[in-house]
Amino acid sequence: MTTLTTSSSRRDLYRELTEAVLESMRTADPTDWRPPWSTGRPENALTHSRYNGINILSLALAKHEAGYPTHLWASYRQWQKLDAQVRKGEKGTAIIYARKLPPPSQD
């Protein structure tokens, strides 16, 4: 499966995710393949907030690729607050933060 990486140029996350899904489909057993995002919606382990948008697909693919047994995600500090330890060598997974902005004022 394609690993999502950063580079000095701006990333095209949608292209990377599309390539990762296609690679997953190409390398899977066709009689047993299930989409990685069908195993539970990603959720923050500390706040229990559910991830939205492109993060659902991104985290589901990362979970599938790494073989994680759960759909729970957290930052390093959040895992510490939960008395959990991140495994040596683990790397972070990109999260896209989006928020609604108020419309510009019509002064």
**24 within 8 A of 34, measured Cβ to Cβ:** no
Give the predicted TM-score (pTM) of the model: 0.69
pLDDT value for 76: 93
Alpha-carbon distance of 43 to 71, in angstroms, equals 6
The answer to whether residue 42 scores a pLDDT higher than 80 is: yes
- Closest by Cα among 83, 47, 45 to 63: 45
55-90 per-position pLDDT tens digit: 998 898 888 888 888 999 999 999 999 999 988 998
